């Protein structure tokens, strides 16, 4: 790729994960967006972020005395110390009221500038709440937030004087930016269809989760009531997003090019949305991670020396064990196999799967031969996800010498775990994992992936060489039972024996894990793919 191709990109996302203390992110989507903006700075690419300045951010999810998650939010105003005021405001209409949005700039974490819109202003009175909490509220409340991100985001770009060649909507939350861009062209004299078609050349769209709940939709009546039509008619809105109005469908119809976030996910997304007419072609561009944020740089320096890799890993493992001891007052063993699992607690990810037939591994827990550390959050309104966390916590209290759960999963915990575990466990129900970037981070730190063939791992797994797979990619009736049996077979007959009985092979696998991922799954490669495949004027 010729990096002189300086196409100017506006990158819209509902969340950005830049630092653990800047709590305007919930998980993987935001961390990907943060890594993208850091990498754009590294490569000196003109990518500008557009997001929301969440006053209270996303939930701090803690564990109560009974072992159940409960939600707490950061004190009001904590996030503002990480941004600077541009002095600019824009106005949007919500429920026939003018709502003023202050525009903040976030660029303190070695990232390209991200402009964040904020309605927490006294003059907004009963509309101050719009940018309070990420991913919370009714359909109408979510629409109000999406008006701020999409419509307000375009207006902020105009007022900041930032030139844009390509608008990149990272997930459907930003789709209402399309209505604002269409409105601009209609005001210039184009009719709706002409405006839409001219606009499409400038919009690209990334779809993420194949899970229905992650593809937000709203009754068209709600959109109208809240003010999301933005000068368009109901018929025109339905042409874009259908009725109910699906934000992912809108993104696909507004864009000229779209992508899934792994090779398999691209296939899944094309099948999932094949019934949608007039949609953008969906390519596959596998996600990547920002090396400096996640990978121990020393690992890349000693790549050709297995013993030095082992020494560095031992240090990183001890850092994780010390953190577990400080947080949980649990003393795990440096010399024993440590398996990590950390991601959003959603049922399709099957976080507690390894405990479904506890008798199969009970003896390993009692002997402390296998240790587990878990972390993750359930959506505040997802009681099933909270039940799963409660189950894991109950196991940790039964086997405190072998199982730990770290509350309030965040970037710091993710960094410690993807550096310090020996094995990274991942067992989503295939093919519902879009990408799974935590496994990339672990692999680049010499942590061996042990996963179903979903997301990115289906592209990289060399079983027994750079990690392990289980389940052989089976999809169909009885997938849970099939995968559970396969998990125990590979764990008991391959992973555990290799760790304790074939140290040289384990070190070789760590080395291959780093070699096969460090470039192929970097955010540098991902951004280059964006420029080559999506950002074409």
- Average pLDDT of span 155-167: 98
Q: How far is CA 451 from CA 150, 402, 462, in A?
A: 36, 21, 12
| Averaged pLDDT for residues 423-443 | 97
Chain segment 7-61, per-residue pLDDT in tens:
999 999 999 999 999 999 999 999 999 999 999 999 999 999 999 999 999 999 9
Mean pLDDT (the chain) is 96
- Exposure string of 227-250, with b = 16+ CB inside 10 Å and e = fewer, is bbbbebeeebbebbbeebbbbbbb
Domains delineated in the chain: 9-289+525-534 (3.40.50.2000), 291-521 (3.40.50.2000)
pLDDT of 213: 77
Confidence class of residue 2 from pLDDT cuts 50, 70 and 90? low
| CA 508/CA 305 separation, integer angstroms | 10
Query: Which pLDDT band holds residue 77 (cuts at 50, 70, 90)?
Result: confident
Per-residue b/e over 516-526, b at no fewer than 16 CB within 10 Å?
bbbeebbbbbb
Render pLDDT for 242-278 as a digit per residue (tens, 0 to 9). Answer: 999 999 999 999 999 999 999 999 999 999 999 999 9
Asked if the model's pLDDT at residue 5 lies above 80, the reply is: no
Short-list 510, 421, 433, 504, CA closest to 465:
510
Say if pTM beats, i.e. exceeds, 0.75.
Answer: yes
């Amino acid at each position: 790729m010729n990096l002189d191709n300086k196409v100017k990109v506006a990158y819209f996302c509902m969340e950005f994960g830049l630092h653990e203390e800047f709590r305007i992110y919930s998980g993987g989507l935001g961390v990907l967006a943060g890594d993208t903006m850091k990498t754009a700075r590294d490569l000196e690419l003109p990518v500008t972020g557009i997001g929301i300045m969440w006053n209270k951010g996303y939930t701090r999810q803690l564990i109560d005395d009974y072992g159940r998650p409960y939600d707490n939010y950061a004190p009001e105003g904590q996030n503002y110390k990480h941004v600077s005021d541009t002095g600019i405001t824009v106005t949007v209409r919500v429920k026939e009221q003018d709502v003023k949005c202050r525009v903040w700039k976030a660029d303190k974490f070695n990232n390209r500038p991200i402009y964040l819109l904020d309605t927490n202003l006294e003059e907004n009175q009963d509309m101050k709440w719009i940018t309070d909490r990420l991913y919370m509220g009714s359909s109408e409340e979510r629409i109000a937030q999406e008006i701020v991100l999409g419509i307000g985001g375009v207006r902020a770009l105009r007022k900041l004087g930032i030139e844009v060649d390509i608008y990149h909507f990272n997930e459907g939350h930003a789709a209402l930016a399309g209505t604002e861009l269409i409105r601009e062209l209609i005001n210039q004299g184009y009719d709706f269809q002409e405006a839409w078609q001219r606009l499409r050349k400038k919009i690209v769209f990334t779809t993420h989760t194949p899970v229905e709940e992650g593809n937000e939709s709203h009754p068209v009546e709600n959109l109208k009531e809240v003010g999301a039509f933005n000068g368009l008619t109901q018929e025109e809105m339905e042409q874009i997003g259908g009725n109910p109005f699906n934000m992912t469908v809108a993104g696909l119809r507004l864009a000229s090019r779209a992508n899934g976030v792994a090779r398999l996910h691209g296939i899944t997304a094309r099948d999932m949305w094949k019934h949608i007419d007039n949609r953008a072609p969906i390519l596959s561009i596998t996600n990547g991670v920002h090396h400096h944020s996640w990978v121990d740089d020393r690992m890349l320096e000693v790549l050709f020396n297995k013993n030095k890799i082992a020494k560095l890993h031992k240090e990183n493992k001890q850092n994780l064990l010390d953190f577990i001891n400080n947080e949980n007052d649990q003393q795990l063993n440096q010399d024993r196999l440590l398996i990590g699992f950390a991601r959003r607690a959603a049922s399709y990810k099957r976080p507690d799967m390894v405990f479904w037939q506890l008798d199969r591994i009970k003896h390993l827990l009692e002997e402390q031969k296998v240790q587990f550390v878990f972390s993750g959050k359930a959506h505040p309104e997802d009681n099933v996800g909270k039940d799963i966390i409660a189950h894991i916590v109950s196991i940790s209290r039964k086997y405190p010498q072998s199982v730990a759960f770290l509350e309030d999963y965040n970037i710091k915990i993710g960094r410690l775990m993807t550096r310090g575990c020996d094995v990274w466990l991942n067992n989503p129900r295939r093919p519902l994992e879009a990408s799974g970037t935590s496994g990339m981070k672990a692999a680049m730190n010499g942590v061996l992936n042990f996963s179903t063939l979903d997301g990115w791992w289906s592209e990289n797994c060399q079983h027994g060489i750079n990690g392990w797979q289980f389940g052989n990619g089976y999809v169909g009736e009885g997938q849970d039972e099939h995968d559970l049996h396969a998990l125990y077979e590979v764990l008991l007959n391959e992973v555990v024996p290799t760790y304790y009985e074939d140290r040289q092979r384990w070190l070789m696998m760590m080395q291959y894990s780093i070699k096969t991922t460090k470039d192929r799954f970097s955010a540098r490669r991902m951004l280059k793919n964006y420029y080559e495949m999506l950002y074409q004027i």
